[in-house]
Amino acid sequence: MKIAWVALALATALLVQTSISLLAPGYARLVDPFLLVLIYRGLAYGETEGLLAGAAAGWVQDIHFGGRIIGIGGLVKGVIGYLVGLLGSRFVISGIGSRLLVLCVASLLDVLIYEWLTLAFDVGAERLPLDLTLWRALINAALGASSFALVERHLRREPR
Amino acid sequence: MITLHSDAQRGRLLLLALVLSHLLIITRQVDAGGGLSLLEASVLNVLSPLQRAVAAIFSTVGAVADGYVNLRHVREDNQRLAERLRAVEIELSETRQMAQEAGRLRTLLDLRASLPLQTTVGEVIATEGVPWASMITINKGSGQGLALNAPVISPTGVLGRVIALGHSAAKVQLIIDRDAGVGVLIERSRTRGVLGGQRPETLSAQGELPLKYIPALADVVVGDAVVTSGLDQIFPKGLMVGHVSRVQAGTALLKEVWVTPSARFDQLEEVLVLPKLDETPSFPSTVQ
């Protein structure tokens, strides 16, 4: 059942990302619905769930939207999922402010680790400017916090 | 044996496995010397012969298609050029005909200017359709002042006379017609005779006509010019008819003389119609 929910969430993320890519290609990099899936998963179910959800999300993203190297996204998002899950299991992150902070930091880490890995492996991916990186963190935080609230209202389940 | 005591421990191991496996996967994809990862190089080596075969097939098909397209273009060009050549040949033929017509008309005008009488230029609009046609139809008739028995000539000689008349067309009996007859004389010796027509089937290749009633003692030799005598009351005196082409002994009283008309009956296109003889003065000398 857990896997089905994760698969449904990833499919929804894929749909959203594809729609943004088609409708507003210039803004596609500013929104990362896959990141939101793994953060919610990590906050709600801990580091193992966050790790697995992050790896799956990263692979789906790599395959559909990535470059010629497959796996960097999976690694980055797996690590972020683990870290978020670790935070979620150690601290109570249910308030809007703490969630916004976690989402912002996770989004920044996502970009930073990804770019560091592409540099390390000399993949040569296009780098996101700093201002766009910050905008991306804010947008993902806003979208994540609101979507988490919507999901929790429907599932009536609070993250740990 | 490793025993997992908690979710945290399991999570750390999973994280380690994830990181290591991903690093391995990524490393295998990153450039390995020749610009390709080992995985990519292997896949490339396996699939490249197939790709080359497919490329060769597409290349061959493309070359054949290009050749076919080019061939079609060459064929279309050929057809277009052939049509253009035909059009140019037609234009050239028309130009030649116009030049020839201009030459004929110039000759006709020269003749007309040299004649001391009012003449009418007529265009042949119908013949009998055979080279030895003995009747022609011209595009002038009584409406243009033509009269029955009016003489018809060409720049090269006498042609015939009008035997039927319409308002804007006339039928001309040529002197080669078997029922035609022209009063003539040998220009040099002034010997008179009658030039008769011939049946088409007996007309020679040179179109010789018999000159009748030439006395056996008359002075006639091959090459003598034959002109109209005016005694037939149709053709004015002195018009060029032809030249003596053959002289034979014949009977005791008469010679057999043959005349080749100077007019070309097989190339008639424009003619000159003279006024009827009772309106026409005699020519002081031969009109050639």
DSSP character string of B176-191: TSTT-EEEEEETTT--
The three-state secondary structure class of B212 is: strand
Distance from CA of B81 to the nearest CA of A (A): 53
Query: Does A74 contact B at CB distance below 8 Å?
Result: yes
Residue for token digits 């402010």? A97
As a whole number, mean pLDDT of residues B56-82 equals: 84
Question: How many percent of chain A have pLDDT more than 70?
Answer: 93
Q: B50 or A27: whose pLDDT is higher?
A: A27
Determine the number of helices (DSSP H) and then strands (DSSP E) in chain B. 2, 12
The three-state secondary structure class of B136 is: strand
Cross-chain CB nearest to B29 (options A70, A85, A117): A70
**Optimal mutation site among B19, B26, B40, interface A, most CBs of chain A within 10 A:** B26
Q: Which range has the worst mean pLDDT, A110-114, B5-9, B273-277, B281-285?
A: B281-285
Round to whole Å and give the CA distance between B43 and B178: 103
Residue for token digits 């929790």? A152
B234 Rama sector, left if φ>0, alpha if ψ -120 to 50, beta otherwise = alpha
The pLDDT of residue B277 is 72
A47/B8 touch (CB, cutoff 8 Å), yes or no: yes
As a whole number, mean pLDDT of residues B239-248 equals: 92
Helices (H), A24-129: 33-45, 47-65, 72-90, 96-120
Q: B51 falls in which pLDDT band (50, 70, 90)?
A: low
Cross-chain CB nearest to B30 (options A48, A69, A85): A69
B11/A85 touch (CB, cutoff 8 Å), yes or no: yes
Q: A81 falls in which pLDDT band (50, 70, 90)?
A: very high
Distance from CA of A61 to the nearest CA of B (A): 15
Cross-chain CB nearest to B26 (options A51, A55, A69): A69
Nearest CA in chain A to B11: A48
Query: Does A68 contact B at CB distance below 8 Å?
Result: yes
As a whole number, mean pLDDT of residues B271-288 equals: 66
Other C-beta atoms closer than 10 Å to the C-beta of B264 total 13
Q: B45 falls in which pLDDT band (50, 70, 90)?
A: low
As a whole number, mean pLDDT of residues A30-39 equals: 92
B183 φ, ψ to 5°?
-75, 120
Query: Does A66 contact B at CB distance below 8 Å?
Result: no
Query: Does A42 contact B at CB distance below 8 Å?
Result: no
Q: B192 falls in which pLDDT band (50, 70, 90)?
A: very high
Structure tokens at B74: 């060459």
Q: Please, which residues have CB within 8 angstroms of residue B266's CB and are 6 or more apart in sequence?
A: B131, B132
A48/B26 touch (CB, cutoff 8 Å), yes or no: no
Residues of chain A in contact with residue B31, where contact means CB-CB under 8 angstroms, are 122
Task: Give me the residues paired with residue B253 across strands.
Answer: none
Q: B287 or A55: whose pLDDT is higher?
A: A55
Distance from CA of A113 to the nearest CA of B (A): 13
Nearest to B162 by CA among B242, B277, B286, B267: B277
Cβ-contact A100, B51 below 8 angstroms:
no
Q: Please check the confidence at residue A53 and state whether its pLDDT lies above 60.
A: yes
A122/B31 touch (CB, cutoff 8 Å), yes or no: yes
Query: Does A80 contact B at CB distance below 8 Å?
Result: no
B29/A78 touch (CB, cutoff 8 Å), yes or no: no
Q: Please check the confidence at residue B104 and state whether its pLDDT lies above 70.
A: yes
Distance from CA of A32 to the nearest CA of B (A): 21
The pLDDT of residue B223 is 93
Question: How many percent of chain B have pLDDT more than 90?
Answer: 22
Cβ-contact A17, A28 below 8 angstroms:
yes
B18/A75 touch (CB, cutoff 8 Å), yes or no: yes
Q: Please check the confidence at residue A157 and state whether its pLDDT lies above 60.
A: no
Residues of chain B in contact with residue A79, where contact means CB-CB under 8 angstroms, are 15, 18-19
Cβ-contact B160, B174 below 8 angstroms:
yes
Distance from CA of A23 to the nearest CA of B (A): 31
Distance from CA of A158 to the nearest CA of B (A): 20
Cross-chain CB nearest to B15 (options A51, A69, A117): A51
pLDDT in tens, B142-164: 888 899 999 999 888 899 999 88
* Residue A131 burial by Cβ neighbours in a 10 Å radius (0-12, 13-18, 19+): exposed
Residues of chain A in contact with residue B6, where contact means CB-CB under 8 angstroms, are none
The pLDDT of residue B55 is 67
Cβ-contact B176, B261 below 8 angstroms:
yes
As a whole number, mean pLDDT of residues A104-119 equals: 91
Residues of chain A in contact with residue B44, where contact means CB-CB under 8 angstroms, are none
Distances (CA, A) of B227 to B61, B67, B223, B238: 82, 73, 13, 5
The three-state secondary structure class of B227 is: strand
Q: Please check the confidence at residue A117 and state whether its pLDDT lies above 80.
A: yes
Round to whole Å and give the CA distance between B162 and B151: 7
Does ipTM surpass 0.90 in this model? no
- One-letter amino acid for residue B21 of the chain: S
The pLDDT of residue B197 is 86
Cβ-contact A123, A69 below 8 angstroms:
yes
Cβ-contact B186, B226 below 8 angstroms:
yes
Nearest to B248 by CA among B221, B268, B229, B278: B221
Q: Please check the confidence at residue B226 and state whether its pLDDT lies above 90.
A: yes
